[in-house]
Structure 1
């Protein structure tokens, strides 16, 4: 028990642990302590995935809030012209992708004989918290980019976008479709008014 608890101490390096381990452990202890050590090594990775997941989610919310609650303010317009949120999300994504990459990643992504993704391979790949967190950051970046396009198109054409932008946050494809429907309805209404005059 003493040695097991020592493994988790931050001052004991993996190299020191392995040296002690090879000298003093039986085969049974070897398996048990190796498993414990590997779990310890995996813990910071899980914490990183969780922290970046939360950070990425919190980072995009102010932009959605501005687009929904203050769509015509100068602050909102300037914020949505900025590239900073996409650079930050891109860097977070690249970092998580680096941490989650394994020799089997490409094999899992393109598992079929036609080099196309297969659902079973993708499901196995996304069973890792780090890979799942990187996919979430990927979605946040793409969804925010789409929401910005919807927002800017609405400003340019004087169309209501708050409902579409809100949908882009979690249901991006539906938000895009809603925007096109809103745009078509607004155009039809404008044409009808023009004909009446």
Structure 2
């Protein structure tokens, strides 16, 4: 769904259509609604409820001293282990995987949009940074910061 936006930012960065789309709130509305639906489905999934129940109701096997310490509340290790188990089980459900994917896509396109709009304001090249945002999110922002600094430095040398 977000690939056409990336395609426009990379192939036609100076187009008025691209700038209008990136300044629009439509993409955020669509991604927000999709994320709310995915989060709702994820939190109401039987697999997620089962994962929560299993993580906090199962006994930690093996060492009875550790179990006794956990029962007494003197060790955080069993709690941390249960939280990690919960997270692992939670992320293995299709509904949560979908919600997580939407979360990552939203973050990356939000970063790319910020890079794009900043580049348009400062007249900085941004195609490489937007492409990096598409694949690696924060690395695109870092590349844009470096490009913006280098572009301003070079411009000031020849001004």
Do the two structures share a fold, i.e. TM-score over 0.5?
A: yes
Q: Name which of 52, 76, 79 aligns with 2:18.
A: 76
Q: Deviations over 1:47-66 (max 9, x none)?
A: xxxxxxxxxxxx10111011
Match of 1:187 in 2: 152
Match of 2:131 in 1: 166
**Quick one: distance in 2 between partners of 1:122 and 1:193?**
54
TM-score (norm 2): 0.74
Which structure has more relative contact order (CA 8 Å, sep 6+)? It is: 2
Larger radius of gyration: 1
Name stretches of at least 5 consecutive residues in structure 1 with no aligned partner.
1-58
Match of 2:8 in 1: 66
Aligned residues: CA RMSD:
2.2
**Quick one: distance in 2 between partners of 1:179 and 1:132?**
30
Shift of 1:120: 4.6
**Quick one: distance in 1 between partners of 2:84 and 2:128?**
32
Number of matched residues?
A: 129
Q: Deviations over 1:115-169 (max 9, x none)?
A: 99x6554322211111011011011111111111100100000000000001111
Match of 2:30 in 1: 88
Name stretches of at least 5 consecutive residues in structure 2 with no aligned partner.
57-75
